[in-house]
Amino acid sequence: MEIFYGKAIFRGIAIGKILFNSKNKQQVRRTKIDDAEAEISRFEKAKEEASQELEVLYNKALKEVGESNAAIFEVHSMMLEDDDFNDAIIEKIKNQLVNAEYAVAKTGDGLADMFANMEDEYFRARAADMKDISERVISKLVGEDSSFQLKEPAIIVAKDLAPSETIQMDKSKLLAFVTELGSSSSHTAILARTMNLPALIGVKIDSGWNGKFAVVDGYNGKLVIEPDKDTLAKYKKIQQDDLEKRELLKELKGKETVTKGGKKIHLYANIGNPSDLSSVLENDAEGIGLFRSEFLYLDSDNFPTEEEQFNAYRKVAETMGSKKVIIRTLDIGADKQVGYFNLGHEDNPAMGYRAIRICLDQQDIFKTQLRALLRASAFGNISVMYPMIISVNEVMQIKEIVKNVMEELETEGIDFNKNIEQGIMIETPAAVIISDELAKEADFFSIGTNDLTQYTLAADRQNAKLENIIDTHHPAVLRSIKTVIENAHKAGIWAGICGELGADTSLTETFLSYGIDELSVSPTFVLPVRKVVRDTD
């Protein structure tokens, strides 16, 4: 028996055989051709097949993991149609009289290297996407299947996994992921959490494990190779207990989220788009505590119109009925870049031109969204909250803009909720420190613990090298949360958490002791959190 350690991405136990995904890069030889036009036609045909495959992957991901997670395949489709990529390939075929496989490989490698050497973290991440796209086209040219097929249930071990590889796998046979590279914020890690699969990153892998029997311990970050009899029995017992707990959780549907002492907690769900609503309802969330509105911008080639936004917000509001729907205004920038915004290069985008800063600077974009939000408020219980606030002055500017938009709608005779609840996201140390002042100008606080943690610890949460530094339980983070809740209550407003810490059941009792009013979590965490709250005295 051997034990290897990594970082757990999703809690749970997986038991089964290891299938090692070597993901060898296809070897491409340079071949001289005689007919350039015929070779270009071969490339165009392969590109079309790759495009169709990406569309299938997008639709598959849409059904299985929601629109926000499926968006990566739309990005791949756009990169596949990029003029620089296509023109460079065609030029190589014409001028150098080389085979299409070589032209694609050479172009893909060149663009991937260019992305990898950029300072911006977002663009560096595009290097892996570029390689993924090139490999897909080459596989079509050589007539090979680019998907990784599972013939029997297996624990997938790999150096790293691309989102396309993850989503193509048969979920009924996928037991767990174990990778050497990647971070807890990677697309594959997010997919693992969405699919409720135990997953480890940062494990020094070995191809010799292929076919060996193993246990993935997603609670303690362990990979146990060839467990002995007693160890295997222990993990089978934990796995069975987990299954029984999940069945018991179903009994909590329809029950209140209330402590033994009678403290009522509002337990809401986070969503990225309207397609996530089925999961919200299935898991019995009491409302939506964070609706990330930027999906409308990420999924569009141009600024979404007021009508497009209104229809999306209205759909969610009507589906949820009287239940609260808190919509966060545009949070573009940092790791969420949109080409048509023309934001330009920034050395440190996480602390740059993003979120409310863009909205206050480009008020035409902001006003369009506010008009859509206010119009939709007539069809349900909508609240709105503003991200990345650092000053009272920003809040006052927002209030003035909202007031002007309301006056416009009144003049036009358009219905809206004149008393719509407006909240502030607490994501920066600045907002924590002045939360007593901000509380006087807000209807509620929602603490975004993901950004609050990285800004408080000065550690980029997208950086895999900092995994051991980003401590979400750091006293500074917890004291900040406590301070915000206390200042909210002093001003007579409520405070909630909408970041990933809200789903950390090891902290639920701590948050209850701080007096938290609301927790908003991924839909699959609603019932586990409800159980902890109901078990707390």
Active-site residues: which are they?
A: 187, 498
Q: Nearest to residue 232, comparing CAs of 210, 221, 245, 217?
A: 217
d(CA 85, CA 87): 6
Q: Nearest to residue 373, comparing CAs of 361, 387, 383?
A: 383
Place of tokens 């990529």: 85
Q: 465 is written with which tokens?
A: 């090298």
What is the residue type of 487?
N
Q: 51 is written with which tokens?
A: 């495009």
d(CA 81, CA 341): 20
Q: 228 is written with which tokens?
A: 């002995």
Q: 432 is written with which tokens?
A: 């924590």
Which CA distances in Å does 421 have to 245, 383, 402? 37, 5, 12
Laid out side by side, the sheet with 222-225 consists of 2-5, 222-225, 213-217, 13-21, 154-158, 174-179, 199-201, 7-10
d(CA 311, CA 533): 35
What is the residue type of 242?
D
Which CA distances in Å does 162 have to 135, 179, 186, 187, 435? 12, 11, 9, 8, 41
d(CA 432, CA 8): 29
d(CA 226, CA 4): 12
What is the residue type of 280?
V
Backbone angles phi, psi at 70, to 5 degrees: -75, -15
Contact 136, 23 (CB under 8 A): no
Residues 6+ apart with CB under 8 A from 409: 371, 374, 375, 416
d(CA 290, CA 387): 11
Contact 528, 246 (CB under 8 A): no
Q: β-pairing, 174-179 with 222-225?
A: unpaired
Q: 528 is written with which tokens?
A: 């586990």
Maximum alpha-carbon separation in the chain: 82
Residues in the chain, overall count: 537
Backbone angles phi, psi at 288, to 5 degrees: -115, 115
